């Protein structure tokens, strides 16, 4: 696999209309610096807002993948992202003067050709691969969707579709070598839909840029000439449409016998670009769609963020330990005698963290609480749970080194058993809710699998005073 980051040599532009909005747009691919990643820029809006191509910025997946921050949005980004990932480009800016990229012929080929025309430049920095080292699964029972990531020292994608519709049937395909196969075998695969979907979308005023030249329409039921003419008018088509004889509207020829499933694979790798890192994994997908793709991308992105977090703070890898005491001191501002977490043994970003505190007779608070009957103060057990939660709270926000967490509320605090010297506290903290600056967490503390304390916390995550911020 390619080991160095890549961008393009020079800017390149293309124009056309968007599939769903039908609006004219000029799109320009521009080189970007190392570690920039992929981002979209709305050049037509004040301030030219930039939207990083990350799963966190997905705002709609109804008929494609839409990214947005505030009022700035970009519709139907998946085909563009597939071209970028397929050519193994890491850093690029996609500048648009409209809300939706040109649809081209409904495939990724026009974008691939433009990027190849611009030329590929190898950069100095190494690629930051996300190496999948455990099985990751996403399942949706109602639609029988399964997406799985398996460990592999490469990037391979296999897709199967089965719409239980005789007009399409079951299809499968696999992409095993991006350099050899992507541009010729998958990039040309065009978007497809059923005739019944086209009627519904047209009635809703969608696919305003749809045309028989930029999509494969699979005939799944009969329409008479009058109905076809009405549909043609709704879509503002310049050419007449007919049901054809090969099962595809206007007898359009397929580029590949299994072109629909190849396009599904194209959509999948475009959506998985939103993880924000190149992958080393085997991806297996059954009946994928944009909603499931993005949910899976969010799940894998959390793993990527967690690995980056561990790599940043844990200098020496230790068996069964996510963060040791040295790493915790790099994360939390607390110090002796008020640092009440010894290590973190489990962490799921924005979900759950487990910390350990070994309680010894040497704790300074035992001198006065209580002489001859040492008991760990309940408020300090709460503090230990809160500090454990702080490990992932502070790193769920940008520039965590310049943030500090403050209690706003402590509710439902209960103390069920005294904690004494020799006990080892296991503190499990779950994320309940996260807003812009306020986080709700639930903490439980155990000794020997027995619950000894619990509480609900509301925490404000704010900027440190200027004189405390890192230079």
Residue 228 has pLDDT above 70, yes or no: yes
390 vs 239: which has the higher pLDDT? 390
Residue pair 408/438 in contact by the 8 Å Cβ criterion: yes
In a domain, 69, yes or no: yes
Which of 103, 124, 145 is at the close of a domain? 124
pLDDT band at 211 (very low <50, low <70, confident <90, very high): low
In a domain, 147, yes or no: yes
Token pair for 119: 């030329």
Residue 171 has pLDDT above 50, yes or no: yes
In a domain, 129, yes or no: no
In a domain, 130, yes or no: no
pLDDT value of position 412: 97
The reply to whether 50 and 141 lie within a common domain is no
pLDDT value of position 29: 98
In a domain, 131, yes or no: no
The reply to whether 300 and 441 lie within a common domain is no
Number of Cβ atoms within 10 Å of the Cβ of 21: 18
Beta bridge partners of 432: none
SS3 357: strand
Mean pLDDT of the chain: 91
In a domain, 114, yes or no: yes
Residue pair 456/389 in contact by the 8 Å Cβ criterion: no
The reply to whether 318 and 445 lie within a common domain is yes
CATH of residue 416's domain is 3.10.129.10
Residue 453 has pLDDT above 80, yes or no: yes
Which of 250, 271, 305 is at the close of a domain? 305
Distance CA 390, CA 85 (A): 35
CATH of residue 232's domain is 3.30.1700.10
The reply to whether 233 and 377 lie within a common domain is no
How many domains is the chain built from?
3
Residue 210 has pLDDT above 80, yes or no: no
22 lies in which domain range? 4-124
CATH of residue 31's domain is 3.30.230.20
Distance CA 406, CA 386 (A): 10
Mean pLDDT in residue range 33-61? 97
Which of 248, 282, 305 is at the close of a domain? 305
The reply to whether 285 and 149 lie within a common domain is yes
290 is catalytic: yes
pLDDT band at 202 (very low <50, low <70, confident <90, very high): low
Residue pair 66/206 in contact by the 8 Å Cβ criterion: no
pLDDT value of position 471: 43
Residue pair 15/25 in contact by the 8 Å Cβ criterion: yes
pLDDT value of position 15: 97
The reply to whether 145 and 269 lie within a common domain is yes
20 is catalytic: no
Q: Highest mean pLDDT: which of 65-69, 168-172, 433-437?
A: 65-69
- Backbone conformation region of residue 436, classed left if phi is above 0, alpha if psi is from -120 to 50, else beta: alpha
pLDDT band at 21 (very low <50, low <70, confident <90, very high): confident
129 vs 235: which has the higher pLDDT? 129
Dump pLDDT digits (tens) for 409-429. Answer: 999 999 999 999 999 999 999
Q: Which listed residue (36, 172, 334, 369) is catalytic?
A: 369
152 vs 471: which has the higher pLDDT? 152
The reply to whether 282 and 371 lie within a common domain is no
The reply to whether 79 and 203 lie within a common domain is no
- Tracing tokens 């909603």 back to the chain, one arrives at 291
Mean pLDDT in residue range 334-360? 94
The reply to whether 371 and 453 lie within a common domain is yes
In a domain, 439, yes or no: yes
The reply to whether 142 and 290 lie within a common domain is yes
Q: What is the phi/psi pair of residue 66, to 5°?
A: -115, 130
Residue 295 has pLDDT above 60, yes or no: yes
Find the distance separating the first CA and the last CA of the chain, reported in whole Å.
Answer: 38
E-state strands within 109-185: 120-126, 130-131, 136-140, 145-151, 155-162, 170-175
pLDDT value of position 227: 80
**Radius of gyration of the chain measured on its C-alpha atoms:** 27
236 vs 407: which has the higher pLDDT? 407
In a domain, 371, yes or no: yes
The reply to whether 324 and 246 lie within a common domain is no
| Percent of all residues in the chain with a pLDDT value above 70, rounded to a whole number | 94
On whether the pTM is more than 0.75, the answer is: yes
pLDDT value of position 217: 83
Residue pair 170/276 in contact by the 8 Å Cβ criterion: no
Q: Is 371 exposed, middle or buried (0-12, 13-18, 19+ CB in 10 A)?
A: exposed
pLDDT value of position 205: 65
Lowest mean pLDDT among 88-92, 199-203, 204-208, 393-397: 204-208
Please count the CA atoms within 13 angstroms of the CA of 10 that sit on its side-chain side: 4
pLDDT band at 63 (very low <50, low <70, confident <90, very high): confident
Distance CA 309, CA 226 (A): 61
213 secondary structure, DSSP code: T
The reply to whether 10 and 100 lie within a common domain is yes
């Amino acid at each position: 696999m390619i080991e160095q980051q890549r961008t393009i040599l020079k800017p390149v532009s293309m124009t056309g209309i968007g599939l769903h909005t039908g609006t004219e747009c000029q799109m320009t691919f521009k080189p970007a610096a190392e570690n920039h990643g992929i981002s979209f820029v709305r050049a037509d809006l004040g301030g030219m807002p930039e939207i990083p191509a990350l799963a966190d910025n997905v705002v709609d997946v109804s008929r494609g993948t839409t990214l947005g921050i505030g009022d700035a949005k970009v519709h139907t980004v998946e085909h563009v992202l597939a071209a970028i990932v397929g050519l193994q480009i890491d850093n690029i800016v996609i500048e648009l003067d409209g809300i939706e990229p040109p649809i081209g012929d409904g495939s990724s080929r026009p974008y691939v050709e433009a990027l190849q025309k611009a030329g590929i430049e190898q950069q100095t920095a190494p690629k930051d691969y996300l190496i999948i080292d455990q099985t990751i699964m996403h399942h949706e029972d109602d639609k029988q969707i399964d997406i799985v990531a398996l460990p592999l020292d490469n990037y391979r994608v296999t897709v199967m579709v089965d719409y239980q519709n005789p007009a399409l049937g079951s299809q499968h395909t696999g992409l095993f070598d991006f350099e050899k196969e992507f541009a010729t075998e998958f990039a040309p695969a065009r978007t497809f839909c059923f005739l019944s979907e086209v009627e519904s979308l047209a009635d809703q005023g969608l696919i305003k840029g749809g045309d028989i030249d930029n999509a494969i329409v699979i005939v799944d039921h009969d329409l008479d000439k009058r109905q076809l003419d009405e549909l043609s008018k709704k879509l503002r088509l310049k050419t007449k449409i007919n049901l054809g004889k090969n099962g595809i509207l206007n007898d359009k020829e397929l580029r590949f016998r299994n072109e629909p499933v190849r396009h599904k694979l194209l959509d999948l790798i475009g959506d998985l670009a939103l993880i924000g890192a190149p992958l080393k994994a085997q991806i297996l997908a059954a009946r994928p769609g944009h909603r499931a793709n993005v949910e899976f991308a969010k799940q894998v992105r959390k793993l990527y963020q967690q690995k980056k977090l561990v790599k940043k703070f844990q200098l020496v890898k230790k068996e069964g330990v996510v963060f040791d005491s040295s790493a915790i001191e790099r994360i939390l501002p607390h110090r002796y005698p008020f640092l009440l977490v010894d290590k973190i043994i489990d962490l799921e970003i924005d979900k759950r963290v487990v910390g350990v505190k070994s309680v010894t007779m040497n704790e300074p608070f035992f001198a006065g609480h209580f002489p001859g009957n040492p008991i760990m103060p309940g408020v300090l057990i709460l503090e230990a749970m809160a500090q454990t939660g702080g490990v992932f709270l502070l790193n769920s926000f940008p520039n965590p080194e310049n943030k500090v967490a403050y209690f706003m509320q402590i509710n439902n605090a209960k103390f069920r058993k005294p904690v004494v010297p020799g006990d080892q506290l296991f503190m499990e903290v779950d994320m309940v809710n996260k807003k812009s600056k306020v986080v709700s967490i639930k903490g439980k503390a155990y000794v020997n699998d027995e619950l000894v304390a619990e509480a609900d916390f509301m925490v404000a995550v704010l900027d440190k005073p200027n004189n405390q911020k890192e230079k």
